[in-house]
Amino acid sequence: MTEKKERIGLVHLYCGDGKGKTTAAMGLIARALGHDYRVLLVQFLKNGTSGELTSLRKLDRVEIMAGQITSKFSISMTEAEKEQTRLLHCDYFRRAVQQVQAGSIDLLVLDEILGAIESDMMVESDLLDFLRHKPQGLEVVITGRHASQAIMETADYISRIECVRHPYARGILARPGIEY
């Protein structure tokens, strides 16, 4: 336990238009669990039913906050649905910060928080303030397509995932166990 308290936690950013940002975050969760990290995964703009969550819910030392008000994409939501989603996401973020401050988390994954910021479902300054004042030993992962310059400046790792080819362009829809 002493080793964890002395650990330096860094910020990982997985961004870009390619497939694999969440997958990379899930791989880091698996690695961290292998070293007894306590993990909190918060998913924004996702319905909470993807295959990796089913697997992770069976494990100790992992807590998950995921789920949506509606199954619609943010661009199709009514104003009322957008407001409800904003409130839900702000609650997820607030609860995650509380757990971090209580010292009960070693790895925090904020999956698709960049999309939530881009669609006005989260406030970028809240994330930036958190990252600038996070506990020294906390490892943080941020995913999403577009990262602002300010967010990139807070990251210690930046991995840009580029889409070179995707089956969707050929009409192949998302498949369970592969895309979700």
Mean pLDDT of the chain: 93
Across 8-30, average pLDDT: 97
Contacts of residue 159, defined as CB under 8 A and 6 or more positions apart, other chains included, come to 12, 13, 14, 15, 16, 24
Q: What percent of the chain has pLDDT over 90?
A: 81
pLDDT digits (tens, 9 = 90+) for 41-72: 999 999 888 999 999 999 999 999 999 888 88
0.85 cut: is pTM over it? yes
Token pair 């020294």 is at which residue? 136
Contacts of residue 153, defined as CB under 8 A and 6 or more positions apart, other chains included, come to none
- pLDDT classification of 2: cutoffs 50, 70, 90: very low
Across 108-135, average pLDDT: 97
Q: How far is CA 51 from the centre of its chain?
A: 15
How many residues are there in the chain? 180
Contacts of residue 144, defined as CB under 8 A and 6 or more positions apart, other chains included, come to 15, 21, 112, 113, 114, 115, 116, 117, 118
- pLDDT of 5 > 80? The answer is no
Query: Class assignment of domain 2-170?
Result: alpha beta
Contact between 137 and 6 (Cβ < 8 Å): yes
Across 165-176, average pLDDT: 92
Q: What percent of the chain has pLDDT over 70?
A: 97
Instruction: Spell out where the chain has E strands.
Output: 11-15, 39-43, 62-65, 107-111, 139-144, 157-160
pLDDT at 3: 53
